[in-house]
Chains A and B, each alone.
Chain A
Amino acid sequence: MSIDLSQFHAVFFEESFEGLELMEAALLDLDVGNPDSEQINAIFRAAHSIKGGSGTFGFVQVAEFTHILETLLDKVRDGEQAIDADGIELFLQSVDCLRGLLEALQSKQDPDMQRANELAGVFQAVLDGASYADSANLVKANSITGQLLAPEITESAADNVADDAATDDGISEEPSYGTSRQQVGFNIYFKPHVDMLKGGNDPVRMLRELATLGEIKTTVDSAELPLLEALVPDNCYLSWTIELLTSCKIDDVEEVFEWVEDECQLSITPILQDASALVSNQPQDQQNNPQASPSAALGQRLVMPSGPLPGLDDLLLPSPMVDSSTETVTDPVKDSVKAPVKDPVKTKATKVESSSIRVGIDKVDSLINLVGELVITQSMLGQMGSARDSITEEHIGNLREGLVQLEQNTRELQDSVMRIRMLPISFTFNRLPRMVRDISIQLGKKVQLEVSGESTELDKTVMEKISDPMVHLIRNALDHGIEMPAQRIAAGKPEMGTIVLKAFHQGGSIVIEMSDDGGGIDTERLLAKARKNGLVAESEQLTQEQKLELLFTPGLSTVEQVSDLSGRGVGMDVVRRNIQELNGSVEVSSEMGVGSAFRIRLPLTLAILDGQLVTVADQTYIFPLVSISESLQIDGAKVNNLAGGSDVYSLRDEYIPILRLDRLFSLREENGVLDGSLLVVVESEGQKIGVVVDELLAQQQVVIKSLEENYTRVVGVSGATILGDGTVAMIVDPIGLSSLAGNDIAAAKQMTDAAA
């Protein structure tokens, strides 16, 4: 059978990368002093799976490299090889190396084996008894080792693959054509242990296999067969003497008994014959010889027991299968020609970048279930539509019911489909422990990362885009947040700094919190810098929050010494912008000497929005439901007119700016009376704004269409959607609105502060 193995490659790569992540995580987590055997086992298993798969799917470079890695890990697992910090470093490097090899193979490129060979050399040195550190240095100093290893690896790897197809057909690679005495077969004595059957091994199978190697003559010895009363059906009482005429090598015969070699007495002795007598004894020439029946001889010795002995008939009467075999004696030479060595890797030139997601079967099941319900609803509605009777009251009732059901089906289906795109945030979190480890070592700091909520699910696109900002935040925390160990001890803190990363769902969004117990953000320095750069006027007084907000101002870095890691221009302003592009927000809180915390809030998905429909001047607008904190009817007495024509509204104990969409978007000439009209209070980044609307309509989920792609970017509008009646409605962007209302916000703030 020919099966194209390349169809399994995608899955293999996916699981291998997962395995590497798992390995990495376990390595990072491993307590060197007291390694947890389950973790070591997990590391071993990951390497082991990659080795098995890569061998099977023809990625010999990977298989060879993982083999030596696995051998070492196996020793670690068995406690024969210790593991220390240098060892972990080496294993981590091998994870990186394997990742590189697999990535190259995945994109159909020849992997660069240099690093792999170096590491293989290091591991070999460790296996030979050197310490991890010494081995690493040794190999570094003598990089020739790596070069020497290279051809060896490729060769033996090629052998491996080539061997596969040939060896198991029982074909001897080099038939032994001796000079004078020629081996023509084997005498085999085979006495299974009494309990061999219990391992599922049936002696008949071995006889049958021997028969495929050549011509066999079998004699069974049933002397040990007890009387029926004493017979244990599970036991094997028989032994066999077999004469096998074949040109096969002894290895092939031994292979037949490979699984039972310790469960039987076995002797295999070659039958030798003079070269001159050879012709008549070649198995190929014996096809027409009459078959000597061993069963005749043994029949005399048998007192036939009839019992439930499994396969007993077969055991006692091996002749039928011998018969069949003699007729199918094969010509090994011909066969080996017929069976060319197949290359299991059939590479196609197609690029494999199509990203895929693995979806839990439960998600697919629920989808199928919902589609089923949708079909039922559809047929119900269809039936009503095709009814020929005149429409009655009852019909309409049923129709309404059907439509309600359809709506529910659609919503559930939509939820289900969206869930398919949702992945646990661990995809992003997983690479952070390694980063924290590497950077903290580089900086000479001691930092631990605590992660929780890894299983929180998030839309794939959002996840991809949030990864960079998160990495940036963590780098910042490592670089500027956590202090040097000595400094921490002096401050009475534990030497080991802690970064806590949390993810959880809250309402319709996902919240990611990152906090550190470092030195906190020096807001005074921030302010001084901002003043120096002319971003804040000397006279202007800022609240603590406003000072912290300066962190997100472009072109403001408090670090005098630009370090290797962060503070190189890509600042917090970029982080915030990235997050805002995802319709999310980021807030910061910090206390000097205690630490800082960042709170990122993101929508679960980018494609669909829970919206509140409103009308302004006969136009429909949509507010993201999450941004609305309340809606109220304006009490004219609470409106304050400010100079410049803007208004603020006194909402409980604070003043909020009133924004008129009609004016903002030039929808109509006259301004409506504020008293009695509706005010939607939206909140973004802790800032409330009241937006005047004519009417509040329904709340519904809307599919977001990009305005930028289809028209152009408009401040205050994040996108558009198509409503049920086919009209286009704009989706209001609360963050954009607050930037439009900047002056009013400042004015309202002043009033609030003054009132307080």
Chain B
Amino acid sequence: MLRLVRVELVKQLRRPRTWVVLAFVVLVPIIITIALKTNPPSINDGGGGGDGGSRGGGVRFFFLASQSGLLVPIATLRVMSEFFLVVIFCMFAGDSIASEAGWGNLRFLLTRPIGRTRLLAAKLIVAAFYAGLATVLIIVSGLIAGGIAFGYEGLNIPILGLSMSVGSILAKIALSGVLAAWGIAGIAAFAFMLSTMMDNSAGAIMGAVGAYVVLSILGAIDSIGPIRYGFPTFYNGAWVDLFRGQSFGGDMVRNVVAQVPYIIVFLGIGLWWFRRKDVTS
């Protein structure tokens, strides 16, 4: 299994698209830092999107980032987790089986003594690894660029009632990364499931991103009613509450729990489909 995972890791690593995506996630925090340094936001500037409710709005991240470089990764994560990071997750997940099928290589891979469950597990591990790596790179790049531009001080802004030590911010950054990534896991599992069904990775990726967009739009419409609370996308910005003086709980827990059934169902269907699939590509 380890050898198979290593093979799949290398296969993905040598793909130009992987490097382009990883370069983007490194560059975006740097560009945001340069923008904040050259044109510092005021305390009255916007909070980086959101609806002002408990699902991620209302925090002036760009202003905070200009006060402490430690907040640059959070501001970047906030912006990127709304769409770009979702696309990246769906790309790694949707690419896994469908790209092999698209190359015509799947039928050769499966003539090795590899159980289909084992191959799917290895592909899932690799997709999760690169999705996680993208999240980590956003944070690391943001920390480095932010620290150079604005220093690594704690945050103390009495007018906003905010006071956080360096240690507290770093802990919250780590938790934010985990929660932001986990908040996309349900949709990524959907992309992975589609990948087992298609011979075209673009179809799997676009299908999952499309589903995310639709659910996000529906989730913003109050008239949809309580059903939207069950969407995997509804609470995925809740980690921002960590920077509104809250500790882990409330909508953050709902976000964690909401992903679980989607992950189980989509991965289960993907496995069932792939095991019974006639491989012709």
Tell me whether A and B are bound partners.
no
